[in-house]
Homo-oligomer: A and B are copies of this chain.
Amino acid sequence: MSLIVQKFGGSSVANAERVFNVAKIVTDTYKKGNNVIVVVSAQGDTTDDLIEKAKEINPDASKREMDMLLSSGEQISIALLAMAIEKLGFPVVSLLGWQAGFATSSVYSSARIKKIDTNRMKKELDKKNIIIVAGFQGINKYDDVTTLGRGGSDTSAVAIAASMHADLCQIYTDVEGVYTADPRKIPSAKKLDEISYDEMLELATLGAQVLNNRSVEMAKKYNIELEVISSLTCKPGTIVKEKAKMENTLISGVAKDTDVARISITGVPDRPGLAFKMFSKLSAKDINVDVILQSIGRDGKKDISFTVARGKGKEAVSILENYLSTIEAEGVLYDDKIAKVSIVGAGMESHAGVASKMFEALYDSQINIHMIATSEIKVSVLIAEEDADKAVSAIYDKFFGNDK
């Protein structure tokens, strides 16, 4: 007998018909003799509707009360899914985050799971119950309800799989798995049978939002095998694991991220620690910095360029402008008409020339590269936003197309 954890997102339980579709998947798994623990998100637009209600009353509501409010969404969906499973005639019990034993840090709205007390879940499995757990939520040391932040249900599922030593953790979505590129843009994009944690992590940070990043990190840490699978077709999806079977290609995907803006600080004196101080000002405001480029300018001064999420761009600029005189820099430049295009693949570790193949594709398409960043399994370039789709196509064709 295996223990399988299954996670369903909000659109998978958006209405009664979809709820029964999920109930069918869950009970089919149970009928095969498996123990099943299911994690669900709030139905469809419930979370957005609740946020609207809150904004109408108090746009600056405390995060504690926001968590109290938003966690009700999952409470509704677990109860409804349990009712559907009862209707199909199977033993089932729904559990809120705290009932399932989720102890989190105290940071409201983006709490981290600290520990799962598995007693209750084990007891329910002993009773042969299917367990439905409210994703995205837990309680902190004050016995207050916390949420894990958007996408947190993926993390809930992986955390349960880790603490209960599950054999498999299935993440059901609306797509059939992880693709080599966005299939809506590149019709020839193909589904991967397997992908490694590291590749998946790089893809996730690059805007291919199939899986929440923290959930992949956790799966890697506890070596939990994940399957990304469609709740509509239930065809075998993509397995995410440590040693993914090498595909017959050098890279596993091309991704585009347009939620990015570039900031350049010009004329920074060449003294140790100035860059560190600058970035710590930003991180104090929860602004994450990506792709950093430092160039030697005139008179021993430097230009420092980096990217931030586009929504944080204006805030970052105003923080830096206040700080300019302290670091004796000359100016701040801002550009949000850019995009980041990346290729990811464990294959490039052992194959030289992957990066230059990418640059060649861009050169062939007359696309100008602003900045380049590389890691062991990733190459990212910053280009003009208007060139982004053309760039993805060109790179894709170069690696996967007929002219490769």
**Chain A residues with a Cβ under 8 A of chain B:** 16, 19-20, 50, 53-54, 56-58, 60-62, 64-66, 68-69, 71-72, 75-76, 78-80, 82-84, 86-87, 93-94, 96, 99, 120, 143-145
The CA-CA distance from A49 to B78 in the complex, in Å, is 16
The CA-CA distance from A176 to B279 in the complex, in Å, is 61
Please give the count of copies of this chain that the complex contains: 2
Measured CB to CB, the closest approach of chain B to A275, in angstroms, equals 39
Cβ-closest chain B residue relative to A66: B79
Selected contact of A86 from candidates B20, B62, B71, CB within 8 Å: B62
Selected contact of A58 from candidates B58, B61, B72, B86, CB within 8 Å: B86
Task: Identify 23 residue pairs between A and B in the complex whose beta-carbon atoms are under 8 Å apart, listed by A's number.
Answer: A16-B56, A53-B76, A53-B80, A57-B80, A57-B87, A58-B83, A58-B84, A58-B86, A60-B86, A60-B87, A61-B87, A62-B82, A62-B86, A64-B93, A68-B75, A68-B78, A68-B82, A68-B94, A68-B96, A69-B76, A71-B75, A72-B75, A99-B143
Interchain CB contact under 8 A, A65 and B87: no
What are the residues of chain B within 8 A of A75 when measuring CB–CB? 68-69, 71-72, 75
Interchain CB contact under 8 A, B87 and A58: yes
What are the residues of chain B within 8 A of A56 when measuring CB–CB? 16
- Known interface pairs A16-B57, A57-B16, A94-B65; A72-B82 also in contact (CB < 8 Å): no
What are the residues of chain B within 8 A of A60 when measuring CB–CB? 86-87
Interchain CB contact under 8 A, A65 and B53: no
Measured CB to CB, the closest approach of chain B to A333, in angstroms, equals 39
Measured CB to CB, the closest approach of chain B to A84, in angstroms, equals 5
Measured CB to CB, the closest approach of chain B to A98, in angstroms, equals 8
Pairs of residues from A and B, 3 with the lowest C-beta to C-beta distance, nearest first: A69-B79, A61-B83, A58-B87
Main secondary structure of the interface of A (DSSP, over half): helix
The CA-CA distance from A78 to B87 in the complex, in Å, is 32
Selected contact of A96 from candidates B64, B79, B145, CB within 8 Å: B145
What are the residues of chain B within 8 A of A84 when measuring CB–CB? 57-58
What are the residues of chain B within 8 A of A78 when measuring CB–CB? 68
The CA-CA distance from A120 to B62 in the complex, in Å, is 20
The CA-CA distance from A82 to B80 in the complex, in Å, is 27
- Known interface pairs A68-B75, A75-B72, A120-B143; A57-B96 also in contact (CB < 8 Å): no
Measured CB to CB, the closest approach of chain B to A116, in angstroms, equals 15
Cβ-closest chain B residue relative to A143: B99
What are the residues of chain B within 8 A of A53 when measuring CB–CB? 16, 76, 80
- Known interface pairs A99-B143, A99-B144; A76-B50 also in contact (CB < 8 Å): yes
Measured CB to CB, the closest approach of chain B to A24, in angstroms, equals 13
Interchain CB contact under 8 A, B86 and A80: no
Selected contact of A72 from candidates B64, B65, B76, B120, CB within 8 Å: B76
Measured CB to CB, the closest approach of chain B to A67, in angstroms, equals 8
The CA-CA distance from A252 to B7 in the complex, in Å, is 59
The CA-CA distance from A145 to B97 in the complex, in Å, is 13
The CA-CA distance from A50 to B83 in the complex, in Å, is 13
What are the residues of chain B within 8 A of A120 when measuring CB–CB? 143
Which one of A65, A78, A79 has the highest number of Cβ atoms from chain B below 10 Å of its Cβ?
A79
Cβ-closest chain B residue relative to A75: B72
Interchain CB contact under 8 A, B83 and A79: no
Measured CB to CB, the closest approach of chain B to A231, in angstroms, equals 17
Measured CB to CB, the closest approach of chain B to A58, in angstroms, equals 4
The CA-CA distance from A80 to B62 in the complex, in Å, is 11
Measured CB to CB, the closest approach of chain B to A308, in angstroms, equals 30
The CA-CA distance from A99 to B76 in the complex, in Å, is 19
Interchain CB contact under 8 A, A83 and B65: yes
- Known interface pairs A143-B120, A144-B99; A57-B83 also in contact (CB < 8 Å): yes
* Given contact pairs A54-B79, A54-B80, a sample of 17 additional A-B residue pairs in the complex whose CB atoms are under 8 Å apart: A16-B53, A16-B56, A53-B80, A54-B83, A57-B84, A58-B84, A61-B86, A62-B83, A65-B82, A65-B83, A68-B75, A68-B82, A69-B75, A69-B79, A71-B75, A72-B76, A75-B75
